[in-house]
Amino acid sequence: MDPELLERYRQIGLRLDREGRFWLEGEPVLHAGIIAALHRMIDRLEDGRFAVRLDAERYAYLEVEDAPFQVRSVAVERGAESPLLFLTLDDESEEELRYGTLRVGPDDALYCEVKEGRFEARFSRAASRQLGELIEELEGEASGFGLRAAGRLWPIRGG
């Protein structure tokens, strides 16, 4: 197939908004099965652009308004020393929080790295509230806030 034509076919008008909702040519994608499949197919191309990928050759570009993933919920596993935190993402995958990557964005939303650091995820409002009980104000020379989990106090980076 002609490379120019293939490039045009990949530009289908697919967008992911900051709340984790998909839009196709300005219309919301509403089918739950399609939404779940799109979340599972999110990938990043070698040039840094986002795409929904079927395989190495078949993909369509994805415009991402904010972060490509959302943290839907946080499970707190109480341990002997301190809690461990496990995230459920909007693609239904689960993973332990990468504690040192937690940061606050310009709109006060929480973000962290997911998928072995390949992507960023924005915490939903519900997930942020679940995390809230473990956040405390830093004392001393350090200012700001930290997350007490996995055996230590993790500073939460700004912006």
What is the average per-residue pLDDT within 122-149?
89
Q: What is the pLDDT of residue 81?
A: 76
pLDDT at 76 over 90: yes
| pLDDT (average), residues 49-59 | 92
**Does the pLDDT value for residue 111 go beyond 70?**
yes
- Examine the pLDDT at 159 and tell me if it is beyond 70: no
Nearest to 44 by CA among 29, 57, 23, 61: 61
Position 57 scores a pLDDT of 85
Q: What percent of the chain has pLDDT over 70?
A: 97
